[in-house]
Structure 1
Amino acid sequence: MTLFGLNAVHLALLIPALTAALLALSPGYRLSAWINSLAAFLTFLATASLFFSRPPVGLYLQVDDLSVVFIVLGAFVGFTTSLFSASYIAHEIEIGRLTPIRLRFYHAMYQVLMFAMNLALMSNNLGLMWVAIELATLTTVAMVGVYRTHEAIEAAWKYFILGSVGIALALFGTILVYVAAEPVVGQGLRGMVWTVLMTKVALFDPPLLNVAFVFLLLGYGTKVGLAPLHAWLPDAHAEGPTPISAVLSGLLLNVALYAVLRFKMLLAANHAALAPGPLMVTMGLVSLVFAGFMLYRRRDIKRLFAYSSIEHMGIIAFAFGMGGPLANFAGLLHMTMHSLTKSGIFFSVGHIAQVKASQRIDDIRGLTVTHPLLGWALVAGVLAIAGLPPFGIFTSEFLVVSSTFARQPWLAAPLVLGLLVAFGALLLRLQGLAFGEPSPGAAPVRASYLPMLAHLGLVLAAGLYFPPLLTAWFQHVARMLG
């Protein structure tokens, strides 16, 4: 895909960057909301074209089969979230939670976030990828605090402090990779180019790579939301605008995971270095079991699903840590299904919080009675994220468990325990939310249900029939991951 000599990679970066500048100057809500959605749609079209043609690899940018999965998924969620955001933010303006100035800031930052995440996923330079992920972090920090309440500012600062610690650890790990590469590749830019490093990494000093990966896993693992580095995530979800919760769960966590996978591939290519899998398996299991038990103690509906995100990122890290074609395929599928499902759930939660004027679970009861479509959509979303058939997450979780039983049966026990604990907590909360005695506050829903229904419909369709073309694509990427 080319336009005026620009290829799809250029367009995926230029569209959000230029739109951010335009939105910073746009005074009207309706116009800025439409511009935001249109830009997100055009970015999605540009990224989707990467399935069919790609520009040549450069020193700064490159797109391969692995990055295309993340880029297209992220652009799609970014587009649907922009549609949800348009109707959601209208209500926030009406009730006075957002002012025109903050609205300009919100829409501009949304496109900066899209730019930063696309840049991170298309980077061929490890330093550039670090800068892009840091930009995405700072952007979401600003958006979490956009309401300017005491709680929102506190959550933003907590996110900023913990995110800064994580990104500093990741920077140190990146520097160590460069130090390990310098004797082999030489000084300068080539020592940071991922495609160059992959051809020479077998000659790098293994101890340096080992230490580097520990720092990189801890640093980027903070942004993935893996326990015990997760503390920023529940507050950021609870206090920020709901569209940002959807973007955090459906996009930003995946971008940090992508960075971890890139360095995992690098380390795996040096046979004298430590195996990265056991570290990822350990952090994944800890996150899964910890988040499963924490789900029982949540009193805020957005915090509930924030801990669900920690649980599922743990499952994904576990699957990629196990490695091999089947586990990697399961990890890719689970990442895709989680992004679609969790963002769809946050769309429904945004509607619920507006019609009930509360995020407290005790204030939300009997949704299937007061708002049938919204209530049953929440039921479908919770059943999907809990891993029940026929939704796509059931398939991915089944593949994770079966591959674990086949290769490391003793790991299957804590894995299944974590899944069952989280399953019980979600169903326990769902009973009151959807089927309890209706709580007061039954305002009509004026926002569009389309993004929510589209996501849940895709997850259901994927559970019933996963297209052979996508299956073959995921199988190919799974083999790339080793």
Structure 2
Amino acid sequence: MLLIPLIGIVFFALTGHRADTGKLNVRFNAVCLAATLWLATNVLNRGAILSADRAFLIDPFNVYLIVLTAFVGLTTSIFSAPYMAHEMEIGKLTEQRLKLYYSMYQGFMLAMYLVLTTNNMGVMWVAMEGATLATVLLVSLYRTPESIEAGWKYFILCGVGIAQALFGTILLYYAAVQVGDIENSLLWSILYTHADKLNPEVLQIAFVFMLIGYGTKIGLVPLHNWLPDAHSEGPTPMSAVLSGLLLNDALYAVVRNKMLVDGATRSATAGYLMMGFGMLSFLVAAFFLHRQKDIKRMFSYSSIEHMGMMTFAFGIGSPLATFAALLHMTIHSLTKSAIFVTVGHAAQVAGTQSIDNIRGLIKTQPSIGWGLLIGTIAIAGFPPFGVFTSEFLVLLSTMHSYPWLTPLLLLGIGIAFAGLFRHIHPMVYGDKPEGQMPVKANLWPVMIHLALVLWLGLSIPGFLANWFSQATLLISGSAPL
């Protein structure tokens, strides 16, 4: 699984642009998806898998994220092939930059797989930094002044943030060497097994730095400023994988560290911090949805809102809240990546990303108009789509554990709903501008994603519920590794 994208990086960097480059990128991601499904089958049948040298760990928590990463990576690559070809046809890209795009796409996927599979907390940090470097090159791909500015903003803010995570990792190492084997002190499986022996004060300080560092990658307020610019100035396929995958992996890193802090302190300190940052991000992003004039920036704030809700739910820490957060991670990735696919084509149809100038999509190209409308309905939490189910579970767990926070949660959901639909309605149903023409679009990945989101809202398959249940027990400390 790790070797395939590594080969892809070298292959696309050396071969240059070809007529079938987009299809080859799809094939690389399809083989990766097959490998992850085989891996998931082994975990479901045998339980957690630890490699012989203990360098890699696959357990119920990360295995479903691995499959989700491969699936979204594949469907986004299917969409990106005609999209990027169109971008080159209209002169926004050269062959050299298109070669860079496909090489860095595989580099990003490699970094995501490594974050999820490594058993070493230091390697996890390195992989997250690798994802930053790959996406910086994707954000600035168009080489416009705005995209270069967004790339530098992303690089500097996330570089500073990831430096905080590095200091937290150093503190984690310091706590670990006091009680165990120096050589294996950053192995998560060892840390988790002996968490009760670690210095709780040092672990609490380390978690603050981890939350700030990885929280920058999640887009938690007030560390979120890079995310709207990166979404709006980079190519749309990058926005789809950035919002659908990178934010999940950063949250995964925070939760892994929270599990260690919970085991060391036997307190809810880490959970309270996550709840505070999560609720703040959720509410601020909901208000900022109303102020946006760029369609990709608007949906980037929607991503911040939903990542805030997930962080808040993981912070609550109850089995119901954890289950809801895991379900929401899955559904949000599927829905938001589908939305960005339609947003990309909508911008191509209108020739702009300005919300005020995108009009009459259903009249110009019904598949794009309906895709954007249904995707927005799904992400806003309308039943029977899965976002409604996961948000309802988060609401129930909040009412049970912290009932005084329930009004804030309902307020944020209502404000976000209003912010989305005040903009979407005229874009979809407004008068069609003169000269607006349809574009070549591959929207069946959108239909698959939205069908899955609908299915998860009506009924969660037994194998997926089993994954979530096992991961919930592991995260809450109710089950051994």
Contact 2:380/2:417, CA 8 A, preserved across alignment: yes
Query: Which runs of structure 2 are paired with 1:270-419 in the superposition (5 Å)?
Result: 270-272=264-266, 275-419=269-413
Q: Structure 1 residue 466 and structure 2 residue 455: aligned?
A: no
Report the equivalent of 1:9. none
SS at match of 1:423: helix
Check 1:24–1:206 CA distance in 2 against 1; reply closer, same or farther (3 A cut).
same
CA distance in 1, matches of 2:386, 2:435: 34
2:128 maps to which of 109, 122, 133: 133
Query: Which runs of structure 2 are paired with 1:68-79 in the superposition (5 Å)?
Result: 68-79=63-74
Q: Structure 1 residue 45 and structure 2 residue 40: aligned?
A: no
Counterpart of 1:429, as a letter, is H
Counterpart of 1:387, as a letter, is G
Deviation for aligned residue 1:273: 5.7
Deviation for aligned residue 1:336: 0.5
Counterpart of 2:209, as a letter, is F
Report the equivalent of 1:26. 15
Greater mean deviation of Cα atoms: 147-156 or 468-477: 468-477
Report the equivalent of 2:204. 210
1:457 maps to which of 451, 456, 459: 451
Contact 2:364/2:438, CA 8 A, preserved across alignment: no
Q: Structure 1 residue 144 and structure 2 residue 139: aligned?
A: yes
Gaps of 5+ in 1: 1-11
SS at match of 1:195: helix
Report the equivalent of 2:182. 187
CA distance in 2, matches of 1:219, 1:128: 15
Deviation for aligned residue 1:454: 1.3
Counterpart of 1:304, as a letter, is M
CA deviation vs aligned residue, 1:426-461 (integer Å, no higher than 9, x gap): 111111111122234422221211111111111112
SS at match of 1:390: coil
Counterpart of 1:42, as a letter, is V
Contact 2:350/2:359, CA 8 A, preserved across alignment: no
CA distance in 1, matches of 2:430, 2:400: 42
CA distance in 1, matches of 2:239, 2:101: 14
CA distance in 1, matches of 2:303, 2:236: 14
CA distance in 1, matches of 2:434, 2:175: 62
CA distance in 1, matches of 2:159, 2:367: 41
Counterpart of 2:129, as a letter, is E
Q: Structure 1 residue 475 and structure 2 residue 469: aligned?
A: yes
CA distance in 2, matches of 1:356, 1:272: 55
Deviation for aligned residue 1:27: 2.8
Deviation for aligned residue 1:275: 2.4
Report the equivalent of 1:161. 156
Greater mean deviation of Cα atoms: 332-341 or 369-378: 369-378
CA distance in 2, matches of 1:107, 1:18: 12
CA distance in 2, matches of 1:272, 1:89: 50
Contact 1:300/1:361, CA 8 A, preserved across alignment: yes
1:268 maps to which of 262, 266, 279: 262
Counterpart of 1:88, as a letter, is Y
CA deviation vs aligned residue, 1:147-190 (integer Å, no higher than 9, x gap): 000000000000000010111000000000000111101322x1
The TM-score, its normalising length taken from structure 1, stands at 0.96
1:435 maps to which of 426, 429, 445: 429
Contact 2:318/2:397, CA 8 A, preserved across alignment: no
SS at match of 2:329: helix
Deviation for aligned residue 1:274: 5.6
2:233 maps to which of 234, 239, 243: 239
CA distance in 2, matches of 1:441, 1:255: 42
Contact 2:26/2:74, CA 8 A, preserved across alignment: yes
Aligned positions, number? 470
Check 1:15–1:480 CA distance in 2 against 1; reply closer, same or farther (3 A cut).
same
Counterpart of 1:370, as a letter, is T
SS at match of 2:362: helix
Q: Structure 1 residue 175 and structure 2 residue 164: aligned?
A: no
CA distance in 2, matches of 1:220, 1:372: 40
Contact 2:293/2:354, CA 8 A, preserved across alignment: yes
SS at match of 1:361: coil
Superposition misfits of 4+ residues, deviation over 4 angstroms: none
- After superposition, the CA RMSD in angstroms is 1.1
SS at match of 1:192: coil
CA distance in 1, matches of 2:181, 2:71: 40
Contact 1:342/1:385, CA 8 A, preserved across alignment: yes
Report the equivalent of 1:14. 3
Deviation for aligned residue 1:31: 2.2
